Amino acid sequence: MSEKLRLAVLVSGRGSNLRALSDAIDAGRCAADIVSVVADRPCEALGFARERDLATRVVRPKEHADRAAWDAALAQAIGDAEPHWVVLAGFRRIVGDAVLSRFGGRIVNVHPSLLPAFPGLHAPRQAIEANVRVAGCTVHLVDAGVDTGPILAQAALRVAADDDEGSLHRRIQALEHRLLPEVVDAIATGSLQTRERIRWVESFGGALLDGD
């Protein structure tokens, strides 16, 4: 059997995307292995990782002299597990040069908007405030900017008249939980290069745009 795609997953929060990835792997829908979960703070995601017996590391900024030192320690912690790819799954910091120079082109992020709309913090709030009718999530490669790297896949939904920030974010997250494992599986199976981006949108689009 060929080696599965080794993933390091970076987290800061609740960890629902980590859980979705882990569940998809267990269900045979994502040909990857989570070899390390790295956090920048104590968080619920770490608790989940420990429950599943996943290796964990915590690299806290305040334990390092400056941002460059933290970034170097983060790159080292990720690299120790020898991952093929790195997944930012709710990681609430910008990775710096040390991480990018070592893993650049092999880092994906999941973001709760249809980029390039609404990069940065509170994307669902930005979508509600802008009164958009269609929202969604994006999986993209990470570069030095904030949510600016090449888009790999998007999934969309219709914003309901009574959606608020919380309800919209919850519905977008349900999309993330489907899209992220699918993209990781496409990377693992080598089909990412040959599938056109739009296929992911269409594979969710019909049903999701008509209902939830």
Q: What does the alpha-carbon distance between residue 11 and residue 16 come to, in Å, rounded to a whole number?
A: 10
Closest CA to 7 of 42, 31, 39: 31
Rg (CA), the chain: 17
How far apart (Å, rounded) are the C-alpha atoms in residues 202 and 73? 40
Quick one: which of 112, 136, 149, 181 contacts ligand GRF (CB under 6 A)? 112
Closest CA to 2 of 169, 188, 210, 165: 188
Q: Which is nearer to ligand GRF, 55 or 174 (CB)?
A: 174
CB nearer to ligand GRF: pick between 72 and 107 = 107
**Residue 63 DSSP class:** G
Continuous segment of H or E residues that includes residue 173: helix 165-188
119 part of the interface to ligand GRF, by CB under 6 A:
no
Only one of the segments 8-16, 34-42, 61-69, 159-167 lies at the binding site for ligand GRF (rule: CB under 6 A); that segment is 8-16
**Closest residue by beta carbon to ligand GRF:** 90
Asked if 17 is part of the footprint of ligand GRF (rule: CB under 6 A), the reply reads: yes
| Residue 15 engages ligand GRF in binding (rule: CB under 6 A) | yes
What order of strands is seen across the sheet that includes strand 56-58?
Answer: 56-58, 32-39, 5-11, 85-88, 107-111, 134-141, 151-158
Segment interacting with ligand GRF (CB under 6 A) among 33-41, 69-77, 108-116, 155-163: 108-116
Centroid of chain to Cα 58: 18
* For ligand GRF, the closer CB: 14 or 41: 14
Element (H, E) at 185: helix 165-188
Count, residues near ligand GRF per rule CB under 6 A: 13
Candidate list 7, 25, 39, 90; residue touching ligand GRF; CB under 6 A: 90
- Judge whether 76 and 68 are in contact, CB under 8 Å: no
Residue number with CB closer to ligand GRF (15 or 149): 15
Q: Does 24 bind ligand GRF (CB under 6 A)?
A: no
169 part of the active site: no
Which residue among 64, 84, 111, 177 is the active-site one? 111
- For ligand GRF, the closer of residues 12 and 72 by Cβ is 12
Catalog residues that contact ligand GRF under the rule CB under 6 A. 13-17, 45, 89-90, 110-112, 173, 176
Q: Which positions are annotated as active-site residues?
A: 111
